[in-house]
Structure 1
Amino acid sequence: MQIADEIALVTGGASGLGAATARRLAAAGARVAVIDRSADAAAEVADEIGGVAHAADVTDEAAVDAAFAAVTTALGRAPRIVANCAGIGTAARILPRDGTLPIDSFRRTVEVNLIGTYIVLSIAARAMAALDPVDQDGARGVIINTASVAWQDGQIGQAAYAASKGGVASLTLPAARELARFGIRVMTVAPGLFETPMASGLPPEARAALEAGLPFPSRMGRPDEFAMLVQSIVENPLLNGEVIRLDSAVRLAPK
């Protein structure tokens, strides 16, 4: 599907992978809506790329629905391209040394990363299904979700994060199969170690140790490299129902 002149919506679009995706889609000619919990941060990215911004928490169905409605009104039609980049990273052992059980943290992680993704996916699919097809294949849109390599090789302390991202990965194929009759594709990108706000606080020695474990290239991924893959997924009509690892061939050690 072409990107130029289409409407794109990016959740978590105010920073990291989401901001890079918003910038790349705008550079390719899309009119981009930046959705984020922070209205000010979303507006900053939107102003930079000539897009629109809307504040919404992806766990709030009504807020996401309102964001889609506002974007449709502002840009003239519903988005055909949706990149689900909103998420949180958490670290907690199942049995911490202090004896507490981090069940609330687990619940919150799943709520944001998995349920939030599903809320955006379902609202996006409803909006796209009402659009006219854009080509002879009957394409109406594409939804790209974000998992993590942790869904396959999560480390100690990543039980909640790995479970939430594993849910996103497992959602991909059944969602793609169901939405195929509407001409809507569903894909998931599972990034490895990337230069994001979550990684920015790492001590130099921890960063060096992580990068040493990356086969090639032996460095953290750049957010625009994630965005490059998003662009390729949008443009290639045969990419559907799959999870793509973007990870320098890394396999995470237990800890």
Structure 2
Amino acid sequence: MKPGNRTFIISAGASGLALAVARDLHSSGAYISLLDLNASSGSEIIAELGSSRARFFETDVSDTGSIKAAIQKTLKWVKQTGKEIGGVVAGAGVGLPGLIVDRKNEPLSIESIDFVLNINLRGTLDLIRQAVPYMTTVKPEGPDGERGVIIMIASSAAFDGQMGQVAYAASKGAIASLTLPLARDLSKYGIRAVTIAPALFESNMTKMMGKKVKQSLENAMEFPKRAGQPVEFARIVRDSIENVMLNGTVLRLDGGMRMPARL
């Protein structure tokens, strides 16, 4: 599916890897619906991209009502432009490290577990389930009758999470696990599901890492020995949109990295 003249809903689209995806798809002629909590960043991105093919909707993906409002506003815009929804990129995610039991023998708080799961897993599923009914009825295109694609973001932590990543790895592992059944659920509608599992990439999350921590992670890369660049992530998202044979699969984007148990 070509992204041009189709609308893509991108959560966390005002920053990080999701922003790189938004910029890339916009450059390909797509219409972009940015969902993010950061209204000031959202306004800046719309000023950059221009309001003719981009809109920002302040959204909390851990709040079902907030997602519903954003989708309804997106649909209103779609009716104005005539550019049907072609895909969802579920980019919202957080990392909140914590050992399952700390040095004082205190368990990891359920509040921190809920925070990670509610954004990374529940927020992803909620966005998808609310957007899909508006994708199943669009006019199919191409010889295969494709209607759209769902792009999710897991992590290398889904497969080899480190100490302190129990909640994060659980959330990303769930995203990886649901990819195939989601593709099977949507196959009769001509909608695909693809998950990308990046390792160390330059993002808001890695900006918070100390130099020593980041260097240790880069040392675990096979080749290239560096963090991935957002444009490299955006490229594989566009490939996943354009290549109809990519479906029900998890694509590791990690430079051969397998994370060590500890840094």
Which whole-Å CA distance do the structure 1 matches of 2:242 and 2:133 have between them? 21
The alignment's C-alpha RMSD in Å is 1.2
Give structure 1 regions of 4+ aligned residues with deviation exceeding 3 angstroms: none
Match of residue 250 from structure 2: 243
In structure 2, relative to structure 1, the CA distance for the partners of 1:64 and 1:78 (3 Å cut) is: farther
CA apart distance, 1:78: 4.3
User: What's the TM-score, normalizing by structure 2?
Assistant: 0.94
Q: Distance in 2 between matches of 1:46 and 1:138?
A: 32
CA distance in 2, matches of 1:254, 1:212: 14
Residue 63 in 1 paired to residue 81 in 2?
A: no
Does 2:167 align with 1:160? yes
Residues 33 and 46, structure 1, Cα contact 8 Å, conserved in 2? no
Q: Tell me the residue number matched to 2:3.
A: 3
Partner Cα separation in structure 2 for residue 73 and residue 135 of structure 1:
26
SS of the equivalent of 2:73 reads: helix
Aligned to 1:83: 89
Gap regions ≥5 residues in structure 2:
none
Unaligned residue ranges in structure 1 (runs of 5+): none
Q: Distance in 1 between matches of 2:32 and 2:251?
A: 24
Identity of aligned residues (%): 39
* Greater mean deviation of Cα atoms: 133-142 or 235-244: 133-142
Structure 2 distance, partners of 1:240, 1:209, is 33
1:189 to 179, 186, 196: 196
Distance in 2, Cα, partners of 1:15 & 1:118:
20
* Letter paired with 1:74: W
Instruction: Choose 19-28 or 99-108, whichever is displaced more.
Output: 99-108
The one-letter amino acid of 1:118's match is L
Name the structure 2 match of 1:215: 222
> Normalized against structure 1, the TM-score is what?
0.97
- Amino acid across the alignment from 2:140: P
SS of residue in 2 equivalent to 1:80:
strand
In 2: Cα distance, 1:201 partner to 1:67 partner: 29
CA distance in structure 2 between the aligned counterparts of 1:115 and 1:205, rounded to whole angstroms: 33
Q: 1:160 is aligned with what amino acid? A: A
Q: Distance in 1 between matches of 2:242 and 2:192?
A: 11
> 2:103 aligned to 94, 97, 103, which one?
97
Q: Does 1:232 align with 2:232?
A: no
Higher mean alpha-carbon deviation, 179-188 vs 72-81, is at 72-81
In structure 2, the partner of 1:36 is 36
